[in-house]
Amino acid sequence: MFIKAPKGTKDILPAEIPNWHFIEKTAQETFNKANFKEIRTPIFEDTNLFERGVGDTTDIVNKEMYTFEKSDRSLTLRPENTAGVVRAYLEHNLYRESPPVKFWYKGSMFRYERPQAGRQRQFNQIGVEMFGVQDASADAEVIMLAVEFLKGLGLNDLTVEINSLGCNECRKEYKEQLKKAVAPFLDQLCDDCRSRFEKNPLRILDCKNETCNRLFEEHNLKSKVSGIKLCGECSEHYKKLKTYLNELNIKYEENTFLVRGLDYYTKTVFEIKSNNLGSQNAVCGGGRYDGLVETLGGPHTPAVGWAMGVERLNALIPKLETKKIDYFVVSDNQIEAVKLTSKLRKNGFSAEFDYTSRKFAKQLEKAAKIAYKAVILGEDEIKNNYYTVKDLNTSEQTRSSFADLVK
Ligand code: ATP
Ligand code: MG
């Protein structure tokens, strides 16, 4: 019996790598254009970072973290990257740089949740974070960047949903409204919702439990709560964001029930959903988190960012072909074959030779599968110092010099 990969993890095999390279390259190009700098933080962090940073009423911290002890220290595989980026931003005094400070990242995240289509235990995210700008132009900037990135991937059939959660003040009345509407059927809701009711009622709206969702419908929950009434400042901010998006021609839908799963959001939250993904349909989630830097011990710093699930993006992109190599050297003289292969590589070409000296017909069969051209190096070629190049697409053969090969 072979040992299998752990449940909820996936190998990314060579045949799938072209898609991953395409996504990563498009990310790098899009974010470079907007002067976002790449950052790479550790895959595991002090458990406290997530407890404080992501919030201890979230599913991520309560149920989904991979936590382990080493020399009396509690460490956790990162379930998301915003907390790690904020930690690095503080640890290296990057907050002293003149704002904005803009980062992007890519990498694996780890969450212990039920694996299903579009949901893994190790998965990959690409994300951006922008620090130091209070104005809604920063919210618009990161949303624009998400849309540009998705366009770069050829993805158009997507919906941007936005909402404002306001500040703590704005949320107070809304939380009460929500609690009042839920109270009559609270005892029928899932354990999570019952604990959210006390700790963070807003999160009830983010519940993925089918029974809860059916109850919300039956009790007309959404018609009983009117949406968050924003204070002057928050409402101004939200209005400004919409003006920016309109001016940028970015289509969006307002969803007053969009609350997101993390504790740290303030004002703007958004999600980008695909119309072609079934139930795990969110490809991007983000928002403003003006309190997080302070929560993690830094100075008050407005910030906004998002993360996308790379596996979900990949599911929307057509499968790209693995690139062929430039030359396959066909020969029964292995020393000459390896020398020519090495020379071709030194001249910037991808090349391989047949490691056995089997029949030319067999070698050519292999060449046709993996290369654009075969260089045939038989007895006559070696004796008379030339190469026969076979175009594996057209089958055309030409007598060539090395200079011809590297032209
Ligand atoms: P969901 O509601 O699907 O659980 P989330 O709110 O937990 O998403 P975020 O923490 O905002 O997700 O992460 C941003 C993006 O990362 C999601 O929109 C999704 O595309 C992707 N993502 C999150 N969890 C997973 C997972 N377990 N497997 C694959 N992709 C994921
Ligand atoms: Mg989740």
pLDDT, tens only, 100-139: 999 999 999 999 999 999 999 999 999 999 999 999 999 9
pLDDT, tens only, 310-344: 999 999 999 999 999 999 999 999 999 999 999 99
Residue from 312, 313, 314, 316 to probe ligand 1 pocket by mutation (most atoms less than 8 Å from CB): 312
Using a 10 angstrom Cβ sphere, with 0-12 exposed, 13-18 middle and 19 or more buried, the burial of residue 233 is: middle
Residues near 185 by beta carbon (within 8 Å), at least 6 away in sequence: 215, 219
Ligand 2 centroid to Cα of residue 261, in Å, is 7
Residue ranges per domain, the chain?
14-167+231-316, 325-405
Ligand 1 centroid to Cα of residue 121, in Å, is 11
Q: In what order do the strands lie in the sheet with 158-164?
A: 37-38, 101-110, 122-131, 303-309, 282-288, 266-274, 158-164, 253-254
Within this chain, domains 14-167+231-316 and 325-405 share the same CATH topology: no
Local confidence band at 157 (pLDDT 50, 70, 90 cut-offs): confident
Q: What pTM value is reported for the model?
A: 0.93
pLDDT, tens only, 188-204: 999 989 988 988 888 88
- C-alpha distances in Å from residue 57, one per residue of 203, 205, 325: 9, 14, 52
Residue from 7, 112, 284, 289 to probe ligand 1 pocket by mutation (most atoms less than 8 Å from CB): 284
Can you list the alpha helix ranges (DSSP code H) found in 327-375? 334-346, 360-370
Question: Which superfamily does CATH assign the domain made up of 14-167+231-316 to?
Answer: Bira Bifunctional Protein; Domain 2 (3.30.930.10)
**Spatial contact of 64 and 112, defined as CB atoms under 8 Å apart:** yes
What is the rounded average pLDDT of the residues 160-175? 91
The rounded percent of the chain whose pLDDT value lies above 90 is 83
Which ligand number lies closest to the CA of residue 120? 1
pLDDT, tens only, 217-257: 999 888 888 788 999 999 999 999 999 999 999 999 999 98
Residue 261 has pLDDT above 80, yes or no: no
Using the atom order of ligand 1, give the atom closest to the CA of residue 80. Answer: 10
Give the pLDDT of residue 62. Answer: 86
Quickly name the fold that domain 325-405 has: Rossmann fold (3.40.50)
Amino acid at 27: A
What is the rounded average pLDDT of the residues 152-165? 95
> What lines the ligand 1 site, CB under 6 Å?
80, 111, 113, 118-120, 123, 125, 261, 280, 282-285, 307-309, 311-312
